[in-house]
């Protein structure tokens, strides 16, 4: 299950590498709303009941503070998922404990705002083929 829109690039690259039959779906929830700091979680597309009794592989672009992923995981379980496994392209290293941990992490980055490879900055640059850090002076 892809977390739109950030995980679309990650999902598109990962899915062809998985050598087993699978169903594909997506959710959409965000706290950032084209800003660089998280706010209240807004759901656009919640998990559907087709997760009932299944193992869900939740794919996201970044594990930052963890609030969005934790909420998505809980919604999947509330819709009857048997298990939720989490894979993220990037995990941000923070000094505090997060409410959720990823089972698989592609890359760990310092506590900077990063974008590219599906991650945006102010709603732009998801299409960049590499990961960049916002230069804040």
User: Annotated catalytic sites, by residue?
Assistant: 64
Residue 119 near residue 126, CB atoms below 8 Å? yes
Q: How far apart are CA 11 and CA 15, in angstroms?
A: 6
| Plot region of 53 (φ>0 → left; ψ -120 to 50 → alpha; else → beta) | left
Beta partners for residue 114, in sequence order: 133
Count the Cβ atoms, other than its own, within 10 Å of residue 109.
15
Residue 102 near residue 63, CB atoms below 8 Å? yes
Measured between its terminal Cα atoms, the distance across the chain in Å is: 37
Residue 47 near residue 84, CB atoms below 8 Å? no
């Amino acid at each position: 299950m892809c977390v739109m829109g950030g995980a679309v690039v990650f999902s598109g690259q990962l899915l062809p590498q998985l050598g087993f039959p699978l169903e594909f779906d997506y959710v959409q929830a965000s706290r950032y709303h084209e800003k660089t700091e998280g706010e209240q979680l807004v759901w656009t597309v919640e998990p559907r009941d087709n997760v009932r009794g299944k193992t869900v592989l939740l794919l996201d672009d970044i594990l930052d503070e963890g609030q969005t992923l934790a909420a998505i995981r809980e919604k999947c379980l509330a819709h009857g998922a048997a298990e939720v496994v989490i894979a993220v392209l990037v995990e941000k290293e923070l000094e505090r404990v997060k409410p959720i941990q990823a089972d698989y992490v592609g890359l760990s980055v310092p506590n900077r705002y990063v974008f590219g490879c599906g991650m945006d900055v102010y709603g732009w640059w998801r299409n960049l083929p590499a990961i960049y850090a916002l230069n804040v002076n």
